[in-house]
Amino acid sequence: MNMNSKQQLMTCAIFAVVFAGLSAMVISQPPQRGQGRAGGRGADTQSLNQPFVGIRTSQGVESDLFPIKATGVSTAPIVEAAQKFLEVLSDEQCQRTTYPVDDIEWRQWDNRHFYQRQGVGFNEMSESQREAAFGLMSSSLSAKGLEKSKDIMKLNGTLAELSNNFEEYGEWLYWITIMGEPSESKPWGWQVDGHHLVINYFVLGDQVVMSPVFMGSEPIAAKAGKFEGTNVMQDEQNKGLKLLSSLNSEQRQLAILMQDKPGNNNLTEAYKDNVQLDFAGLPAKDMSEQQQQLLLELIGEYVNNMRPGHAQIKMSEVQQHLDRTYFAWIGGTTDSSVYYYRIHSPVLLIEFDHQRRVAPFRSDQPSREHIHTVVRTPNGNDYGKDLLRQHYQQHAH
């Protein structure tokens, strides 16, 4: 690392430390950062004034699910990639991009297109900065997860072409922020925030929490234009239906909550960090071994967007709670149906939803051309907050 690179990292670290000090001074006050950031959408952002609790059932937050422990899967490549990204930013970009690890910025993501973002945008990055930004994503995600992310960005470019609106939509309208100082021992993380693509990535030692994650698209395939041939979310869609189709009539009666799907059904998108949601649907313990395998393959479609070693750790965690995992369905059951499904366990929440069209035209009924998915870590560990809480209990800060 040359002297300029060291100075750049030191500058970014100073910004993070200063922000952290200010954050600690006002920790007992309601969150102030970003108020008004979403111009005109105060009703949405009011939830940011509530302390973080997490997704939980009516029984409350279940404790002791996420202990701090060694996983044996190194996060050094992720730390190195984050440092390289910070090195190529200007001082001004660095100031806009770095936040303390416990900042409210984590919770201010929005999957919609008209939101005012924080951080440094791909649209303003130089070629070397974009390369470093994708390097951070590549070090953190699987090859498939990175490709899916890039394809979602491309399809946002297709949407710009279809709607002739390049101000609100576009391939490069995505922003990155870094929370905390990249470290192999101290807590930190990063976030990418934009239309139909939001990734929150928390790191503590060799533990990783990748949630909330929002992935979706409208349209789901480019039939012409610059990105012709690009398509997304088909495995998530088809594997969900494959699992539902494997159920017998008795199982379906438990799994299918509603056969009609007149609108949108996702419950835990932006500003829904504290949703109370009870288990519903068919429990995995009442599935056959083959059906449980289909369920795990479906869950893997989401979890395996992570870097492979860390994805294996998460899947092991999921399997430990498989008997307390529920599969719920709303909508039709044919190859042309629109539907919603939910997978819910103490350590994982997945939602898939066919949504009403928004652009380049609006529709009253859900469509297969507009898909939203959400991945959450229930019981207080979205954004790695339960791990961070335990870290603060063990270490002065």
Residue 5: per-residue pLDDT: 53
| Domain match, 8 and 139 both | yes
- Say if residue 245 is in the same domain as residue 367: yes
Decide if 28 is inside a domain: no
Residue 309 lies in a domain: yes
Residues 341-387: pLDDT tens digits? 999 999 999 999 999 999 999 999 999 999 999 999 999 999 999 99
Q: Is the Cα dihedral 49, 52, 96, 38 positive or negative?
A: negative
- Reduce the DSSP state of residue 145 to 3 states and report it: helix
Return d(Cα 79, Cα 77) in angstroms, integer. 5
- What is the model's pLDDT at position 321? 98
- In whole angstroms, what is the distance from residue 201 CA to residue 178 CA? 10
Residue 240 forms part of a structural domain: yes
Domain count, the chain: 2
Residue 68 and residue 171 in one domain: yes
**pLDDT at residue number 396:** 79
Same domain? 141 vs 15 = yes
The arithmetic mean of pLDDT across residues 135-162, rounded, is 98
pLDDT in tens, 215-260: 999 999 999 999 999 999 999 999 999 999 999 999 999 999 999 9
* pLDDT score for 9: 58
What is the mean predicted confidence (pLDDT) over 52-74?
A: 97
The verdict on 198 and 240 lying in the same domain is: no
| Position 222 in a domain | no
Query: Does residue 41 lie in a domain region?
Result: no
Amino acid 44: pLDDT = 73
pLDDT at residue 43 in the model = 54
pLDDT of residue 134: 98
Instruction: For residue 317, give every residue at least 6 positions away whose Cβ sits within 8 Å of its Cβ, in sequence order, or none.
Output: 347, 348
Whether residue 135 has pLDDT greater than 50: yes
Using DSSP's 3-state secondary structure scheme, residue 297 falls into: helix
Same domain assignment for residues 248 and 133: no
Domain of 162, in residue numbers: 3-19+53-204
Q: What is the DSSP letter of 285?
A: G
Q: Are residues 287 and 191 in the same domain?
A: no
User: Residue 340: left if φ>0, alpha if ψ -120 to 50, beta else—which one?
Assistant: beta
In a domain, residue 66? The reply is: yes
Kindly state whether residue 32 falls inside one of the protein's structural domains: no
Measured distance CA(106)–CA(177) in Å, rounded: 9
- 245 shares its domain with 96: no
Q: Can you give the pLDDT at residue 42?
A: 52
Considering 204, 226, 243, which residue would you say is the last residue of a domain?
A: 204
- Single out the residue in 185, 204, 223 at which a domain terminates: 204
Domain end position, chosen among 189, 204, 219? 204
- For residues 157 and 244, membership in a common domain is answered with no
* pLDDT confidence band for 7 (50 / 70 / 90): low
Per-residue pLDDT, averaged over 263-278, amounts to 98
Q: Are residues 175 and 255 in the same domain?
A: no
* Ranges 97-106, 109-118, 202-211, 372-381: which has the least confidence: 109-118
For 11-41, write each residue's pLDDT tens digit.
565 555 444 444 433 333 333 333 334 433 4
Q: Is residue 286 part of a domain?
A: yes
- pLDDT at residue 114 in the model: 81
- Is the domain of 123 the same as that of 78? yes
Q: Are residues 250 and 185 in the same domain?
A: no
